[in-house]
Chains A and B, each alone.
Chain A
Amino acid sequence: MRRISVEPSVAGQNEITIEPGRSTWRMSLEVFLQNRLAVVGLVIVIFMVLFSFVGPLFWHVDAHTHLSRVNLPPSASHPLGCDELGYDELGRLMQGGQTSLEIGLFAALLATVFGVLWGAISGFFGGLLDTLMMRTVDALLAVPPLFLLLFLASIVRINRLELILVVALVAWLAPARLIRAETLSLRTREYVQAVKVMGGGSKRIIFRHIAPNAVGTIAVNATFQVADAILTIAALSFLGLGLPAPATDWGGMLSTGVQYTYVNYWWLIYPPGLAIVLTVVAFNFLGDALRDALEVRLRRR
């Protein structure tokens, strides 16, 4: 029996025991599940996905406006009240969740794939190409994403696919930088050099040694990317440049609710905001836990 101590970001010191002879992935999974915050994050994410995608099977989601029940406060038939067009707020929350989660996930995926390719190419080839590619990233990073998004959203009336593309367009920069640094450092590690000395080809080096080591970084970053993408979409919709009605997302719901702040229609403000915060916190927890689980070097602290 080998004793391994883990220090998760918040939960403090945990001691766990792992029997020898298990695979790295199995060990990572165990470390991950030992982290209470990770489990909390996972539960919230699963809950949000079920709520948004399976929830409409059990709860009636309005397809039409009902002007007779505009801005109704919460009651037995409408647990979260109704919004300014008479949509049931609970059903609307499910619908908005579908948009936020779908777009967040796909935008993060797209950004990660593109960013990883860009960063890997830049780091692998180095030289002038590297300089050029990384300065481009720097230049794009200099402009805050929301400004660029607002600009793009002002040109086109955005649909679902375009929103994914546009969010990914500003999100790929962080993974590109990260993976470039990772590629640079992994390429010069002793164990890679050792493989070279033993006669291992570059194919073997890339797939057996560099890729598995970079996967952790990529996965961790992708998780944070989802959180960021959900926030970005919410901000864009809040500013009135998200998906056109009747589609909505949590940010868009808040932007309609904001007009009723002064008359204290709190049921239009709390639920969508809470949904955003919970989801984002959950993905951040997951990312932190993944980092702890996959960073083998951190385990033996």
Chain B
Amino acid sequence: MTSYLLRRLSHAVIVVFLVTIFVFLLLHLLPGGPARAVLGQRATPRSIALFNQQNGLNKPIYIQYMVYLDHLLHGNLGFSYKLNEPVTTVLAQYVPKSILLVGTAYLLALIIAIPLGIFQSIRRNTIADYFFTAGSFIFYSMPAFWLGLLLILYFAVNIHLFPAEAPQGATLGQIISNPAGLVLPVITIALITVALFSRYMRSSMMENLTQDYVRTAKAKGLNSRQILFGHVLRNALIPIITLIGLSLPTIFQGALITESVFNYPGVGFEFISAAIGQDYPVLLGFTLMIGIASVVGSLLADILYAVVDPRVRYGKGTK
């Protein structure tokens, strides 16, 4: 177990390291480099040279990278000159709101998708199974922005049930105080996620139903309810853990689009305004944080997987 953990941890460290190199390179990929990012597209060569000198950007690139790493380790993600705030402050402002939106949607999705997957695997190849499979196929292929628009058209414009815009507010409390506005964005993310998770749950259940231990349990005289919930379900849930961990990048991405459709003041929304306003420190700081969060997510998923499934621990474990 320890060696597995160490190996997995060292992988994660290497990947995080590569992500920082990658983001650092992106910063220098900008036409004019970081100076242009701060001073804007119309900066004169003179002012760029001056800025470079003042900020040590005329030093060799590996020294600059060391300085960049040093800043990162001290929690300095850069400074947004557009918002006149450190990037970390900007992040701290938007991250909790995105977590609220995505967390609620994912919780809802899991509550629906797991029983649905179980149901489909029991009633496999029946009309009901085909119906839900077709449904998940459609929702899985549906762009989040279109689904969001359809929900707005129907629930907000036609029958006036829920507001079309997400709650606005600087603090988390202001957003929670208006739960009706959260309904449509949460449903948008949840529906697409249910489509993904229920397909996995169904195939995971089906795979476990064909295992030898099911036959053994049957031979022991257990009834099908005991087999299903006592044995099969517990094993079938294991891949779902990994799926949740690995889908972190997808979560951020789905949130980005959904937040843009519903004007929800989260990380994705701020990222889009930064992209349109060419606020590069914010873009790169957010990209780095999301990259690291994804690596940590998949690391946690792998560790959890090893905890619940001994086969991973004692197997070769090479990836």
**Chain A contacts to B: CB under 8 angstroms:** 9-10, 12-13, 135-136, 138-148, 150-151, 153-155, 227, 231, 234-235, 238-241, 251, 254, 257-258, 261-262, 264, 266, 269, 273, 276-277, 280-281, 284
Contacts and interface: CB of A to CB of B under 8 A. Distances in A.
A284 B141 contact: yes
B141 A147 contact: no
Interface stretch (B60-68, B69-77, B254-262): B254-262
Contacts of A273: 143, 146, 149-150
A254 B144 CA distance: 12
B287 interface: yes
Given A151-B283, A154-B276, A155-B30, A146 B256 contact: yes
Contacts of A153: 275
A150 B141 contact: no
Given A10-B137, A238-B145, A277-B138, A142 B249 contact: yes
Given A144-B250, A269-B149, A139 B15 contact: yes
B229 interface: no
Nearest to A268: B149
B79 interface: no
A234 B144 CA distance: 11
Given A10-B130, A154-B278, A261-B149, A140 B257 contact: no
B6 interface: no
Interface in B3-51: 11, 14-16, 18-19, 21-22, 26, 29-31
Interface of B: 11, 14-16, 18-19, 21-22, 26, 29-31, 125, 130, 133-134, 137-138, 140-146, 149-150, 152-153, 156-158, 164, 249-250, 252-253, 256-257, 260-261, 271-272, 274-276, 278, 280, 283-284, 286-287, 290-292, 294-295
A151 B153 contact: no
A135 B15 CA distance: 6
A28 B243 CA distance: 32
Contact of A254 (B146, B280, B283, B284): B146
Contact of A135 (B14, B26, B143, B260): B14
The binding surface of chain A is classed by DSSP as helix
Given A258-B149, A258-B261, A264-B153, A281 B275 contact: no
Nearest to A11: B130
A254 B256 CA distance: 17
B261 A144 contact: no
A178 B24 CA distance: 28
Nearest to A283: B141
Given A144-B249, A148-B287, 8 more contacts: A139-B22, A143-B19, A143-B22, A144-B294, A146-B256, A154-B276, A261-B149, A273-B146
A287 to B, nearest CB: 11
Contacts of B150: 269, 273
A147 B271 contact: yes
B158 A264 contact: yes
Q: In the complex, which of the residues A136, A142, A239 has the most CB atoms of chain B within 10 Å of its own CB atom?
A: A142
A221 to B, nearest CB: 17
Nearest to A276: B143
A147 B290 contact: yes
Contacts of A139: 15-16, 18-19, 21-22, 291
Contacts of B276: 154, 240-241
B275 A234 contact: no
A238 B143 contact: yes
B146 to A, nearest CB: 4
Contact of B257 (A13, A136, A151, A239): A239
Contacts of A257: 149
A144 B287 CA distance: 8
Nearest to A156: B31
Nearest to B29: A155
A165 to B, nearest CB: 14
